[in-house]
A and B are shown apart, each in its own frame.
Chain A
Amino acid sequence: MKLKSAKKDLDDEQLRQLLERARVNDSKAIGILCSHLYSKIYRFIYYRVNAVEDAEDLTSEVCFRVIKSIQNQKGSFYAWIFRIASNLINDHYRRQSVRSNVEPAGDLIEEMIDKGNKQNELLEQKELRQSLKKLTDEQQEVVVLKFIEGYETDEIADMLGKSSGAIRAIQFRALAALRNNFITKEVD
């Protein structure tokens, strides 16, 4: 089975041009940039907060903050937006005080059934998602960016402001922790 790489619908030059235009309040460029970012940020947030409405609200907030501060942005753009998203998720949990342990949203399960997934696969995915919730924030970020968004290790290192070696270590520990959680559930 072939693994998927991150879809790059905007190359570096296109992104640079869009950012330049967005910085001078070009509404068209801001629109294109937001549309491009929205799905990426949404998925990143969704796997962390587990609720569609919260994910939408937080994604909108990230987009707002990006547009508000885009004139002062320096360095890696993706690292910057994922850092904003990560901070907002942390604030979200802080406000709620307790980390939610809710089941994956119903609409997502229905979506998976519609796509004809087998029942046992569905349950496995459900357990996997639950196990994912037990990882540390850092591990969740790396797993979502690597296996949901499909980014390379170096790209994730750039986004999270860490070395590639550190990301590989987090990835290894995250997968090992997930595996252990999985085995424990199967034994239970």
Chain B
Amino acid sequence: MEQDIELLLDNCINEMRKGKSIDECLAKYSQSATGGAGQLRPLLQLVQQLEILPKPEPAPEAISGTLINIGHHIAQRSMTSEKLTAAEKLQKKSSIFNIIRRPKIAWAFSAAFLFLVVLFSAATISANSVPGDILYPLKLATEKVKFLLTFNSEKKAELRLTFSDKRLQEMIAIFQQSGKLDTTLLKEMLDEAKLALEENKTPIDTASVFAAKLSHVNAYQKDVLEKIRPQVNLSSRKIVDEAINMCDMRGRWMRRMMNEENEISPDSSAPDSTGSPQQKPRSKQKSNRWQWGPGCDWMR
């Protein structure tokens, strides 16, 4: 019963909001209200009085004051969040520096840096060393590292030529100092030149440039050997002669290979009398042509 009258009161208030009078509302719900109509009327009259109570509006100054304060608060909040972001970044940065700032790691970094500086300086100084010098093994090690770190076959071949030239310079330096011929260096010089050609796997079109360079180096080595030959002792002279012969043979092979290349190149695609191409594919031929022939290597 009580629930009914609460619902009826609410319904009547809703009806009054739609514009109906108290009497109309009570008439509409008279059947269900039964004895409650007498109870509802004073409450509905009270509702009417409540509805006309003044609706206080806040002072505009109070609203604007609050908005200003909130604005300050938002500005502070965004500044704080910006500061926090900056602090986080700084923390991240400093965390990297903190690692370096640790004494052990700092020592390790310093030692590694010092080691690299010393190594680089020693490698630079060792460039002019000759066999017998303290730094000569370092020079050879540097050359090996340099060679291992070179992956391009053309550059590897160029390095071989450089090493060959270095051995020649070292051999001359020792010969000038002591008047003795270092046959080990002589052999290394010729071996490096031999390996240079084998190392070279450049395309056939550019291979002739390298061949010309190698041919020039070979001729220079032969020339140097011929010049020092009269000054070396008899035991070494035999080896020098053998080396000069080898250079001579290599020179001939080089000329022959270059001539063959010149002969093949102009009409490589021309068919022969049977109508089939004269030449095999160039990549296959290259491996056969660009190789040293007999007499270009040490006999023993």
Contact = CB atoms under 8 A, between A and B. Distances in A.
A147 B71 contact: no
Tell me the dominant secondary structure on chain A's binding face: helix
Interface stretch (A10-18, A82-90, A92-100, A124-132): A124-132
Interface of A: 1-5, 25, 27, 30-31, 34-35, 38-39, 42-43, 46, 52, 55-56, 59-60, 63-64, 67-68, 108, 111-112, 115, 124-125, 128-129, 143, 146-148, 152-153, 165, 168-169, 171-172, 175-176, 178-179, 182
Please give me the 8 A-B residue pairs with the lowest Cβ-Cβ distance, nearest first.
A147-B50, A3-B17, A42-B58, A168-B6, A172-B6, A60-B66, A56-B62, A175-B43
Contacts, number: 125
Contacts of A39: 57-58
Interface residues of B, number: 42
B54 interface: yes
Given A3-B17, A46-B56, A168-B10, A59 B66 contact: yes
B53 interface: yes
A18 to B, nearest CB: 14
15 contacts: A2-B19, A3-B13, A4-B17, A30-B74, A38-B66, A42-B58, A43-B55, A59-B58, A64-B73, A108-B54, A111-B54, A125-B49, A129-B53, A168-B7, A179-B43
B224 interface: no
Interface in B187-243: none
Interface string B22-61: 0000000000000000000011001111111111111100
Contact of B53 (A125, A171, A179, A182): A125
B145 interface: no
A67 B69 CA distance: 11
A148 B42 contact: no
A168 B4 CA distance: 10
A34 B55 CA distance: 19
A140 to B, nearest CB: 12
